[in-house]
A and B are shown apart, each in its own frame.
Chain A
Amino acid sequence: MRKIVSLTAMLLLFFTMAIAQTRNINGRVVETNGDPVPFATIKVQGSKVTVAAGPDGAFVVKAKTGDVLEISAVNFTTQSVTVGAENNVLVKVTRTSTSLTDVVVTTGLGIQRQAKSLGYSTAKVTGNEIVAAKPISLANGLTGKVSGLEVSTVNNGLFAPTRITLRGNRSLTGNNTPLIVVDGAIYYADISTINPEDIGDITTLKGSSASAVYGSDASNGVIIVTTKHGLKGSAKTSVTVSSTIQAESISYMPDLQTRFGSNGGETTVIDFNNLSYYIPYENQSYGPEYNGKTVPVGRPLSDGSQLFLPYKYLPNAKRNFFNTGVTTQQNISLQSSEENGSFFLSAQDVVSTAVMPKDEGRRDIFRIGGSKRYGMFSANYALSYTYKRTNTSNTGAVYQEVIESPTFIDLTKLKNWQTDKFSSQDGYYNDYYTNPWQTIDEYRNINTENDINGNLQLSLKPFKWLNLSYRASINNINTKYESKGLQIVYSPFTLSNTVMVYPTADGSGTVSHATDPYGGGLKAIAQGDNPHPASYALGTGNNLLFGNDFVVSVNTPIAKNFNFSGTAGYSYLDNQIGNFNVGANGSNALTFPVYNTSVYSNAPAVTGQNNYEARKLGLFGEATVDYKSLIYLHGSYRTDIDSRLSKDNRFIPYYDIDGSVVLSDLFKAITDNGVLNFAKLRLAHSLTGNVSPLAFGSQYIAYGAYATSPTLYAPSGFPYAASSLSGYANNPVIANPNIKPEKVTEDEIGLELGLFKDRLSINTSYYQSKTTDGIVYAQISRASGNVSALLNAAQTTNNGLEMDVKAVVVKSKDVTWSLGVNYTHNVSKVISISGSVPQLQLPGANPNAYAIVGNPYPVIQTFDWVRDPASGKVIVDAVTGEPSRSKKLTNFGASNPIDIIGVTTSVSWKGFTLSATADYRGGHKIFNVVGETLDHSGIGSTTALTGRQQFVFPNSVVLKDNKYVDNTSTVIDDANFNFWPTSYNGVGANYIVSAAAWKLREVVLTYNFPKSWITFTKVAKSAAFTVSGRNLLMIRPSTNKWTDPEFSEDAGNGVGRTGLGQAPPTRIFSGTLSITF
């Protein structure tokens, strides 16, 4: 503390001296289009006075009226300006060449630096690139565009959630997603609450070197979002209005069989190759082949009526259940600038319906941002409000009800369950499932989110070499969820109805039986669950993040040819989370829909009430020294005082040291051949940390607040309702007061090349990172009285290669064609978990995700067939021909992609621009649990591969004379109901396939109307029309018959498994009209 106080006193002294000096000229160097030109050199002719402009183009130079200022900047023509009476000058310079490597990058803490000075890897994506195909979430706009960045859309629900990782996973149980920083402040709300249209640009700091200055939450890289803050340059105002309409429809359904209808094993098999009888109320399709004849469906109703349908395959019976989702997007924004400030205002309204019937949502985002300079003072501010509401059904339940419906039944005809007797709960044909239309209507999840994000930065630049800035920011995320399920009461008739109507053997008529002769009984769902209890849950949560930081930046020459820039400061975070949940279930169930605890006796009980708070203070400094802008050496240091850790562990140091050499400037000769025009080599080494495992992987620091202090908990059953008895037992997890952050060390080397006057640029990095002291909840001997202990025990490594190649393939007067390819290769490995523990099942929604020592992380484990260890072939029973399931789990490999390739391209011709993004992910596996359901119900195409006839299990062996020999003749005796849903679908291995896929993510065609067409209006300045498509094409290996391998049940670390919760993938088309005034 004392050092900081004396530092400020010193600064004050300098400041006072400066004020006493003579006249300063404030100036800015801008491009002809108004964009600032950073780091230009300003020389007063005839004197020794030389100053450098800042990253925003601003400079202050001592001069008098009549002096001539000579402004030079790399890639710009040198410009001269004569000083007049004014104190402010605006210098416009013209670009000589477009240098891809000489851009300005926003780095940690919002500090802008020249790309060539960086010793670590960054990538910048402009706002325009992100919004090209009008994604609702900006994460979708980043997909495929940057190496090292993996964006996965984990399902296709309304406002589909995404998971972002940079350079893979480092922490076994912690958060592996990057920190999101918006306008310099840590942003806690989901990335989807940011309006993509508000983005100026996004910089990804891929490695931990770049992010080390963020301390203990920095090991996963940082995504720095810079929002639009109004126009730069001279006074002007523009207003842009755009309107987009999108249509979303199912693109790929799982492969389904087309030949067989209803039977669920009701009959005793008489002849294995003769198929079973048709059963009218079945959810399973193990029945006879479709014959086109009319069959009774379901049971006769109380009025004696019976539904009849043709027994034939309906090609789109399931696809037609889903809607075409329509999303409209309205945007309006105003940007203005004046001499010393800028202003930005925007609003976006997104109204969306999904492919799932009745699922709908709305998102509205308002933003005000701007900046103002008052001499040496400046202020930057932004305030945004996001409202998001979704009203959805239970996707998993509905999808199951749809998929477990025979393919001769057109569910769209059974929609009116409230009025149509054959669609009602009592009359619906399926004995085992509710009519999905009823489920949709009676089970609703309503999620509402209200976010307010504010950010105010005040800066003072008393000298050209000194900048002080203070920032205060706030994120307030307010969420509410409500889930409602109505009670279902079946009629007494349904409960006792045993009548069955069957088609006669020749299909010519029907036979009615008073009781089911095939062993079936009453309507199963009604018997098992009558009344089906209502359910209700309501939860509210508030997540507040308050941050403030203070940064002092210095930029000054320190000796001939040496320049120094440095920053020091602090960053303070306070995160407070509170939530409150009520619910009613089971015997507490509501018998009619009333959701008010104050007026209904069977009121929902409090099911959760929690408050969390954590605070963190980081003290940091960073410095760069450069020699003639040729060699840069940069280092940063940070220590965090974290309330979540015990006092002894509160000062954990993090650091980065990196450097770069601009080879092309240092050895001019290498550029002589005219091929190479830029070359830079960089090296970086860093140590960062991660404390998020304490928060069970959440990025919110507050959730990890209480992991170090022992507590008691109320064990199962407590408090007992009947006796109002409380009880507290030892927490099964031993709190660890000595827990330390995980340590991540990372080494990185990179080479950046510009060729053919930057027509071709290559940026490549190799990195290796190692996590030690990984925090795990390790299982321990129960004789300790506990189940697990929080330990610093795990070790993992990551090795990877990243490459970004950008080329301007064609550049002529009319046509510009640019192409970019990025490649990512990342291999993670678990070195150890805890002592000799060989594996760890990951917490989360995917029970098949494991960390296994010596393997990538995570891997998928499930059951395989029993195999002959020698040949690897499946062993089948010598009599039945059936294989059997192994008793031990088999490791099927990594579920994160090892290789990712992204391709972006853009062609401009006159007013037209066509751009596209595609990507490939491969080297990993996906477990399609939806396949288990499909084969259970006999809908999956696999189940009909042999026409339900006896077959020899492929690649199998059979035991003969104590030896396994290839099986050529022992057939599976019943290749129908007694194989697929009872044996085959219980072996997870059958549903694990390569997750490799090429995807055409975006195709965008924009037409900018010629100025002449627009200007006549006297109002509009420009207008453009855009049509785009997203997820147009997916190319998968033929083994993947189910769904999009990018989907995941778990949105956390445990990727690699998709189930019924992920409805089929979709394709989106949109059209946008945009007018700027």
Chain B
Amino acid sequence: MNTLNISKIKQVFLVMLLAGTIGVIGCKKGTFDINSPNPNAPAPSTVPPKFTLSAALAQTASLTAGGDGDILNIFMGYWTTSGGYTPSPVYAAYQLTSGTASGNFDDAYLAAGNFQSIINATKSDATQINYKAVATIMKSFIFQRVVDLYNSVPYSQAFNSANLSPKYDDAASVYTDLIAKLDTAIGYIKNAGPNALALDAKYDVLFGGDLNKWRKFANTLKLKMVMRLSKTATGPALANTELAGLTGSDFLSVGEDAGINPGYSAAADNQENPYYLDVNSTASGSGGLNRAYWRACAYSVNFYKRFSDPRIYNLYENKKSGVWGLDLGTLVVASNDSISGVFGTAYAGSPKQSVYILPAFESFFLQAEAAARGYISGIDAGTAYRTAVEESFNITGTQYPGYNTRQSADKFMDSVNAGAKLVDWTATSSADEKIALIITQKWAACNAVDPLEAYGDYRRLGIPSNLPVSIAPQNTQTHIPYRLIYPTSELSYNAANVPSGADINSKIFWMP
């Protein structure tokens, strides 16, 4: 073999040593700082708040219109389970567990957490004050819902990644803070400085950037919460204080339904209106997730029929022989061919439809009740009631031939049901009759679109008074459950803090 000369060996050796040492030294500062940011997903600090707003609003819509709200339609006598299935212990015997409709808790916190992120991110930035305002309003919206279903919940220590087991706050104190936060948010909008950025209309999928509507939404929400407190000791006084100075133009008005629509379509299941996906159809055209399971409840079918209420056809499937319902918990076996589904034309008619989180009719029903109770001045209860029913007919697209929706409502009240104390304002005399009328018609209007509002009224006032409990033989409850059970996630991962002893007969703090 030919030998290498020494100087060459030295050179090669040096090169090798260099290669070796460079390998180490070449790992200069920063070589290992390559894993942040993540190139596949944005870091929170880089995303403008409008992107979080659109996502959180869409999550809110899924929360209120997704399948976990179905149980409230059962409670309120709108829906029942199919006669083709074995009676469900959860729905027919009120055997609610920690797994029942747990999205009302779990998903609410995930959505509210995103509004909290907007609040945190825009904390001291005057240019983002409007985003902070709407996020604050939406957080109040979600927490009101959570408290109405679960009473005491984590609030003051929620959304803190350093505290994975947040304590529970007293429900009344949460309500108090939510109302105060709504005032704060309205203040943000009012006092936004000249540098404050407008909401990006595209990403505000609730009001298209209209801050005046946001203000009205906040006031209407406040009105709703104040009315929830009407049966508490301090409720009436609080109402007078909180509602002082507010007039009709401060609340959601005619046609101002608060509806979320991020761009629903039938492009894919998860792009459909979640309610449509649940009770009507999937994107490929097959039956919605629970289409075959939910059926019209005989109680409400009979109610609408009793008043010849044309909204019935927009809420329920019209069979050849008309709309038919079943009693909740009945043992009668009835196939879906004979019992109406809950996919009318109103809210489940199109995959593209908005999810209404606070329809205008609620605003007017609330104003009517507040006026009737003397909580607010300058609003005529009868007029507000009339507008409320008109708005209900409008949002369901209910029409008599030759009449538009609002005219149809007038006809329904003035001529079809003239003199009926549960429809015709002029037929009522006592304050109790007026409240019964308002709340009963509100119940009739809330079908499917906002069963939680009806559930709130029912637990507060007991109206409709003849709302039936399940007739299933296994049912031992004498009344509709007062609340939902804390979810499995809390019992498993925050067990130390969950209030003990809460069952379906434990009252929400505002219940009489």
Q: Which A residues lie at the B interface, using CB under 8 A?
A: 1, 4-5, 8, 11-12, 15-16, 19, 88, 339-340, 374-377, 458, 460, 462, 468, 470, 528-529, 533, 548-550, 569-570, 572, 586-588, 609-615, 617, 619, 641-644, 647, 650, 705-706, 708-718, 720-732, 734, 778-787, 789, 836-837
Contact yes or no, A470 B16, CB < 8 A: yes
Give 25 pairs: A residue, B residue, CB < 8 Å, sorted on A: A5-B25, A377-B4, A460-B12, A460-B13, A468-B20, A470-B19, A528-B286, A550-B23, A572-B23, A586-B267, A587-B284, A611-B39, A706-B38, A706-B40, A715-B59, A720-B262, A728-B42, A728-B52, A729-B52, A730-B117, A781-B489, A781-B497, A783-B154, A786-B161, A787-B110
B32 near A643 with CB under 8 A, answer yes
A528: B residues at CB distance < 8 A: 286
Of B20, B47, B165, B271, which one neighbours A721 at CB under 8 angstroms? B271
Interface residues of B in 200-221 (CB under 8 A from A): 202-203, 205
CA distance A724 to B267 in the complex (A): 12
The answer to whether B44 touches A617, judged by C-beta atoms less than 8 angstroms apart, is no
> Do the beta carbons of A726 and B54 come within 8 Å of each other?
yes
Distance, CA A782 to CA B114, complexed state (A): 12
Interfacial chain B residues near A569, Cβ < 8 Å: 20
Q: How far is the CA of A723 from the CA of B38 in the complex (A)?
A: 27
A1057 to chain B, nearest CB (A): 23
Within 8 A of A (CB), among B253-295: 262-271, 283-284, 286
Do A784 and B160 touch (CB < 8 A)?
yes
Across the interface, do B54 and A727 meet the contact criterion of CB distance under 8 Å? yes
A641 to B32, CA, bound (A): 8
The answer to whether A708 and B265 have CB atoms under 8 Å apart is no
Minimum Cβ distance to chain A for residue B77 (Å): 28
Chain B residues with a Cβ under 8 A of chain A:
1, 3-4, 6, 9-10, 12-14, 16-17, 19-21, 23-25, 27, 31-44, 47, 51-56, 58-59, 62, 105-106, 109-110, 112-114, 116-117, 153-154, 157-161, 163-166, 202-203, 205, 262-271, 283-284, 286, 352, 487, 489-490, 492-495, 497
Chain B, residue nearest A718 (CB): B55
A12 to B3, CA, bound (A): 20
Q: Are A615 and B263 in contact (CB under 8 A)?
A: no
Q: Given A458-B16, A709-B43, A785-B112, are A5 and B21 also a contact pair (CB < 8 Å)?
A: yes
Interface of A is mostly: mixed
Which residues of chain B are within 8 angstroms of A643 by Cβ–Cβ distance? 31-35
Minimum distance in angstroms from A292 CB to a CB of chain B: 38
| Docked-complex contact B32 and A617, CB < 8 angstroms | yes
Contacts of B36 in A (CB 8 A): 706, 708-709
Tell whether, in the assembled complex, residue A729 and residue B114 are in contact, meaning their CB atoms are under 8 Å apart.
Answer: yes
Q: Which residue in B203, B267, B490 is a CB contact (below 8 Å) of A722?
A: B267
A716-B270, A721-B263 as given contacts; A709 in contact with B37, CB under 8 Å: yes
Given contacts A617-B27, A715-B59, contact A725 B54 (CB under 8 A): yes
Q: Which residue of A lies closest to B494 (CB)?
A: A781
**A614 CB contacts on chain B under 8 angstroms:** 34-35
Whether B24 pairs with A1 at a CB distance below 8 angstroms is yes
A734 with B161: in contact, given A706-B38, A729-B55, A837-B493 (CB under 8 Å)? yes
Q: Is the CB of B13 within 8 A of A721?
A: no
A724 touches B263 (CB 8 A): yes
Q: How far is the CA of A728 from the CA of B49 in the complex (A)?
A: 9
Contact of B268 among A586, A708, A711, A712 (CB under 8 A): A586
User: Quick one: given A717-B58, A784-B164, are A533 and B35 in contact (CB under 8 Å)?
Assistant: no
Q: Tell me the bound Cα distance from A377 to B36 in angstroms.
A: 42
Q: CB-CB < 8 A to A781: which residues of B?
A: 154, 164-166, 489-490, 493-494, 497
On chain A, the residues within 8 Å of B113 by CB distance are 730, 784-786
| Smallest CB gap from A572: residue in B | B23
Please give me the residue from chain A that is nearest to B57 by CB atom: A727
Q: For the complex formed, measure the closest distance between the CB of A920 and the CB atoms of chain B, giving whole angstroms.
A: 40
- Whether the pair A783, B51 counts as a contact (CB closer than 8 A) is no
Report chain B residues within 8 Å CB of A717. Answer: 58, 62, 262, 268, 270-271
Q: Is the CB of B166 within 8 A of A715?
A: no
Do A727 and B262 touch across chains, with their CB atoms under 8 A apart? Answer: yes
Would A720 and B265 be within 8 Å (CB), given that A725-B54, A786-B113 are in contact?
Answer: yes
Q: Which residues of A contact B266 (CB under 8 A)?
A: 587
In angstroms, Cα B14 to Cα A730, docked, is 53
Asked if B41 and A731 sit within 8 Å, CB to CB, the answer is: yes
Residues of A within 8 A of B20 (CB): 8, 468, 470, 550, 569
Contact of A789 among B9, B10, B164, B494 (CB under 8 A): B164
Q: With a CB–CB cut-off of 8 A, which chain B residues contact A779? A: 489, 492-493
Q: What CA separation (Å) do A731 and B113 show in the bound complex?
A: 10
Contact present for B110 and A720 (CB under 8 Å): no
Whether B3 pairs with A728 at a CB distance below 8 angstroms is: no
- Partner among A375, A650, A710, A780 whose Cβ is within 8 Å of the Cβ of B32: A650
Nearest first, the 9 A-B pairs at minimum CB distance are A785-B113, A723-B263, A727-B55, A720-B263, A783-B154, A550-B20, A781-B494, A706-B38, A722-B265
Contacts A528-B286, A711-B38 given; indicate if A723 touches B23 (C-beta within 8 A): no
Bound Cα distance A378, B403 (Å): 97
Neighbouring A residues of B110 by C-beta, 8 Å:
729-730, 732, 782, 785-787
Whether the pair B13, A713 counts as a contact (CB closer than 8 A) is no
Q: How far is the CB of B292 from chain A (nearest CB, A)?
A: 13
Q: Once the chains bind, are A782 and B43 in contact (CB under 8 Å)?
A: no
Q: In the complex where A4-B24, A470-B20, A617-B27 touch, is A588 in contact with B166 (Cβ < 8 A)?
A: no
Q: Within the assembled complex, what's the spacing in Å between the Cα atoms of A723 and B39?
A: 25
> B41 to A711, Cβ gap below 8 A?
yes
- Given A712-B42, A728-B42, A730-B114: A783 and B17 within 8 A (CB)? no
With contacts A716-B270, A781-B489 taken as known, whether A725 is within 8 angstroms of B117 at the C-beta atoms is no
Given the contacts A15-B13, A721-B271, A734-B161, A340 and B54 also touching, CB distance less than 8 Å:
no
CA–CA, A460 to B9, complex, Å?
10
* Contact call A615/B58, Cβ cutoff below 8 A: no
| Distance in Å: Cβ of A457 to nearest Cβ of chain B | 11
CA A90 to CA B381, docked complex, whole Å: 113
Q: Known: A572-B27, A729-B114. Contact between A19 and B6, CB under 8 A?
A: yes
A836 neighbours in B (Cβ, 8 Å) = 495
On chain A, the residues within 8 Å of B157 by CB distance are 783
**One of B54, B159, B267 near A785 (C-beta < 8 A):** B159
In the assembled complex, the Cα of A829 lies from the Cα of B112 at a distance in Å of: 39
**A468-B16 Cα distance, complex, nearest whole Å:** 9
B493, A710: Cβ atoms under 8 Å? no
Are B41 and A712 in contact, with the CB atoms below 8 A? yes
The smallest C-beta distance from B18 to any residue of chain A, in angstroms, reads 9
Give the distance in Å from the alpha carbon of A242 to the alpha carbon of B57 in the complex.
67
Residues of A within 8 A of B44 (CB): 710-712, 730
CB distance from A695 to the nearest CB of B (A): 12
Could you tell me the distance in whole angstroms from the C-beta of B424 to the nearest C-beta in chain A?
A: 42
Cα of A462 to Cα of B12 in the assembled complex, Å: 12
Residues of the B chain whose Cβ atoms lie less than 8 Å from the Cβ of A587: 266-268, 283-284
* Listed residue (A550, A725, A732, A783) with the most chain B CB atoms within 10 angstroms of its CB: A783
Q: In the complex, which residue of chain B has the Cβ closest to the Cβ of A468?
A: B16
Residues of B within 8 A of A376 (CB): 9
Q: Knowing A19-B6, A728-B51 touch, does A586 contact B262 (C-beta < 8 A)?
A: no
A782 in contact with B106 (CB, 8 Å): yes
A460 touches B4 (CB 8 A): no
Cα–Cα, bound, A13→B3 (Å): 22
Contacts of B497 in A (CB 8 A): 781
In-complex Cβ contact of B21 among A8, A705, A720, A778 (8 A) = A8
B32 touches A782 (CB 8 A): no
Among residues of B, the one whose C-beta sits closest to the C-beta of A707 is B35
What residues of A have a CB within 8 angstroms of the CB of B55 in the complex? 714-715, 718, 727-729
Beta-carbon nearest neighbor of A5 in chain B: B21
Given the known interface contacts A643-B34, A721-B271, the answer about A374 and B42 at a Cβ–Cβ threshold of 8 Å is no
**Bound CA–CA A1/B23 (angstroms):** 11
Q: Compute how far the CA of A8 lies from the CA of B16 in the bound complex, rounded to whole angstroms.
A: 10
Measured CB to CB, the closest approach of chain B to A9, in angstroms, equals 9
Residue from A8, A460, A781 whose CB has the most chain B CB atoms within 10 Å: A781
